[in-house]
A and B are shown apart, each in its own frame.
Chain A
Amino acid sequence: DTEVTQTPKHLVMGMTNKKSLKCEQHMGHRAMYWYKQKAKKPPELMFVYSYEKLSINESVPSRFSPECPNSSLLNLHLHALQPEDSALYLCASSQPGQGVQPQHFGDGTRLSIL
């Protein structure tokens, strides 16, 4: 059982749709992450939030818009996506800082763009 909950588990959307991915954790973690993972590839970091502030944006296209409403929630707003954006989107959380802090991943949202 994962302690990081992601919804929805699956999402199919057209290129003109607007949708949002949601992530929630109640472990008291203050760092939250969005990753994109293609088949047979490692997770690719997209965004990092620390103490509800965006701290890392890995040059992600503006059609992906993250939001961190509070310390437990992380959203990823999607708009005008491309077929190549089809992937597994993983949320993770950890305690922030330079120390050894394992990341806890959610089950992910499998996104398909038609």
Chain B
Amino acid sequence: GQQVMQIPQYQHVQEGEDFTTYCNSSTTLSNIQWYKQRPGGHPVFLIQLVKSGEVKKQKRLTFQFGEAKKNSSLHITATQTTDVGTYFCAGRRRRGSTLGRLYFGRGTQLTVWP
């Protein structure tokens, strides 16, 4: 079954509005990564979170890792048309995973209206 749940599947916002996507795992994760895939492109690594309760910022993007290391979120402030794409979270399980196996969420496809 799906290891990492991600919602929403789609999000349409007007330029300047905020956007958030959420990921939840049924098991504790050792770390979580976020990727962005532009239409017609390939996934591009954005950031990784390792510590419980960790918060990281990249300009207008804020990433959080839950205290229990089972959930994570990505928040974009004041979206721009360049933010269009699909955002994936990808987690590594705390135990039993080997060699970097990532469990991808389904992704949130973000559309931004100008």
Q: Which residues of A contact B (CB under 8 A)?
A: 2, 31, 40-43, 45, 48, 50, 55-56, 90, 94, 96-98, 100-108
Contact = CB atoms under 8 A, between A and B. Distances in A.
Contacts of A43: 43, 88, 104
B37 to A, nearest CB: 9
Interface stretch (B13-21, B55-63, B69-77, B93-101): B93-101
Contact of A31 (B50, B100, B105): B100
Interface residues of B, number: 24
A42 B42 contact: no
Identify whether the interface residues of B are mostly helix, strand, loop, or mixed: loop
**Which of A90, A101, A107 has the largest count of B CB atoms less than 10 A from its CB?**
A101
Nearest to B31: A100
A41 B102 contact: no
A107 to B, nearest CB: 5
A100 B99 CA distance: 11
A76 to B, nearest CB: 16
B59 to A, nearest CB: 19
A102 B50 CA distance: 12
Given A31-B100, A56-B101, A100-B31, 20 more contacts: A31-B99, A42-B88, A42-B104, A42-B107, A43-B43, A45-B101, A48-B99, A48-B101, A56-B98, A56-B99, A96-B99, A97-B100, A100-B48, A102-B33, A103-B45, A105-B42, A105-B44, A106-B42, A107-B41, A107-B42
